[in-house]
Structure 1
Amino acid sequence: MAKRRRYANPMALLGLSPMIATAVGVFVICIIYSIVLSFTNSRLLPSFDFIGWQQYERLWTTQRWLVSVRNIWLFGVLSIGFNMIFGYLLAVFMDQRIKAEDTFRTIFLYPFAMSLVVTGLVWQWIMDPNLGLQAAMNNFGFENFRFSPLTNETTAIYGVIVAGVWNGVGVTMAILLAGLRGVDEEVWKAARVDGIPPWKTYLFIVLPMMRGAFVTAFVLQCVGVVRVFDLIIAMTQGGPGIATQMPAVFVIQHITGRSNVGLGMAAAAMMLLPIMILVGLQQFFAWRSRRKSVSATTVAEALPQGQGVAAK
């Protein structure tokens, strides 16, 4: 019956055909084409002069790329970690049924709705020693106050991380808040009856039940980290020096500015790899969860009616 319903409406497939054609034509074919070019000696324009793995060997001996990989790991670990922590804390705060909840939700989500270019420019201004926070504090009489992380090669990446957290924490809060609102009310009642403090309920009971919401927020943040470009260009242009260089910046610079399409495509292929691994892991765990659910249902149905109820 389920299979009959699945294939009973060909008009639905017809309606989805433009989206399917776009996904296959734009995404799949372009990805394959990019990977093919990564094995060529393409310079200013694409060519099919195949040179094997030389572009990848050259890529992993390029200092700019190695710095980019180090930066993306640092940026990813810290920004995702802070986004998940602060996002959950904000979700818990919003779950208290506070007054003007819609207003607070709009305020928290506003940074995510802004362009990353605008976000970068705002934080560049805040961290500018001549215009931002340092200048304001100096004008108030705190002449020894210093806050200019973007001018120092050691601290510039942390300034970018602050802007990234500010941009992403709101959408993480919204996803986790939806997960919190989906928890059965009986769980809260049982915790109150047992005398469990609210903070322990949120941390040890509700948190493990929100695995789906956390995975969704985590994957969304990971994809955003891998393709971060606008924020870097707006704030630092990859500098000072190459201190805030990122893989996406490396790819664009080599394809457009340095006329090295082959090396840029090799870097783009390496950027695609972690996303494919994350999506593959997400699908694997979802498949395993569905399989366990189906197995449990099958066992319950196979038992006699009384035993099936007892098993439940």
Structure 2
Amino acid sequence: MSSAEATEARRAAVLGSPIAHSLSPVLHRAAYAELGLTDWSYDRFEVNEAELPGFVEGLDGSWAGLSLTMPLKRAIIPLLDEISDTAASVEAVNTVVLTEDGRRKGDNTDIPGMVAALRERGLEKVEYAAVLGAGATASSALAALSTMCSGPVTAYVRTHARADEMRGWGERLGVEVHTADWAEAGHAFDAPLVIATTPAGATDALVPYVPDRPGTLFDVLYDPWPTSLAAAWAEQGGTVVGGLDLLVHQAVFQFAQFTGESRSPLAAMREAGRAALGLG
């Protein structure tokens, strides 16, 4: 019997702190509505690292899955029975599937979500790339690039410690990582693919460096959108992939794991996300 025919109510939710801003409920609920999963619900819960073990232990058999956001992507790992190779590669879990036999299986859908978002725009392979920033999302970007970049990746960072971290991730993921100081970040735009993983406003000063014929920019922010960099990039005719693209693609992978559904709710999720962000 498919999940659409199941009569038992099933639950899923996103956990994190802060969590009020999360679009995950909007996306997953839109998917349930689109595919007729009337017995499914998806909520959000404010949960910090100290509260996480108690929350997980309190879940009953109605729970199918959890989405994890900061600061829980690493804190959840000791509470799991197994994690996928993808999640292990970056030591971060954003998806937990709760099986019928009570096991907790962790995965990371951010990485395939990045790859899928780029493929949707026609980008399958690049010879080299650049990453702006060096946080958790940057390590996921390197993992995604390990599947599609044949040459080196240059990471533009602010500190020597961050440079060391990115080179370490590169060694672990099998990616040739070069590092450069953030003051040189304008040179990143010579690459055919630039992935910006920095907080809001961090790349605003780089707008004057956008070339006349830019390649592809993947800016992982989604609110506010477009960022100044994304707007300037599009104005020059470059391809722009945004944070909402990443959000919906990783959510599609989560949805499939939670529900067992083979039908994709991508269009419904994207439409709901754009409406929630006021993008029309």
TM-score bracket, shorter-length normalisation: under 0.3
Which of these two proteins has the greater Rg computed from alpha carbons? 1
The one of the two structures with greater contact order (alpha-carbon pairs below 8 A, sep at least 6) is 1
Larger fraction in strand? 2
